[in-house]
A = this chain, B = another copy of it.
Amino acid sequence: MNETEPLDHSVCKATVRPIRDALDVLNGKWKLPIIVALTFGEKRFGEIAKEIDGITDRMLSKELQDLVANGLVRRTVEDTFPIRVTYALTPHSQSLNEVIESLRKWGILHRAYLVNEEK
């Protein structure tokens, strides 16, 4: 390394990568609503759909697949008739609690800040 300049640069990238990873997992319009809906306990596909205003079957299905792929949600098919599919948060999803809580707190703080500024 010849100069100090590239230092910032690589530190910067190394810092941002995990942050982006995290945001990517949580992103999309419906991921958080789904996760929050499931914090009240295991639910069926139709129940989640009813809980979340405006979501379509297509999006619910897609986002659930994403969450399952990321190990945050468990999908269980009960072999009844008609079949019954339930979704629930996984133990791994608990690790998100701190993240979600800090986002929630900051969202509230920031809204208060904006209201105060616009006076």
Contacts and interface: CB of A to CB of B under 8 A. Distances in A.
A106 B16 contact: no
A19 B114 contact: no
Contacts of A21: 107, 110-111
Dominant secondary structure of chain A at its interface with chain B = helix
A73 to B, nearest CB: 14
Give the oligomeric copy count.
Answer: 2
Residue from A19, A52, A103, A117 with most neighbouring chain B CB atoms (10 Å): A19
A40 B12 contact: yes
Given A16-B36, A40-B8, A103-B99, A70 B110 contact: yes
22 contacts: A8-B51, A11-B40, A12-B36, A12-B40, A16-B32, A16-B36, A18-B106, A19-B107, A20-B107, A22-B106, A22-B107, A23-B23, A23-B26, A70-B110, A70-B114, A71-B117, A92-B113, A95-B109, A95-B113, A98-B106, A99-B102, A99-B106
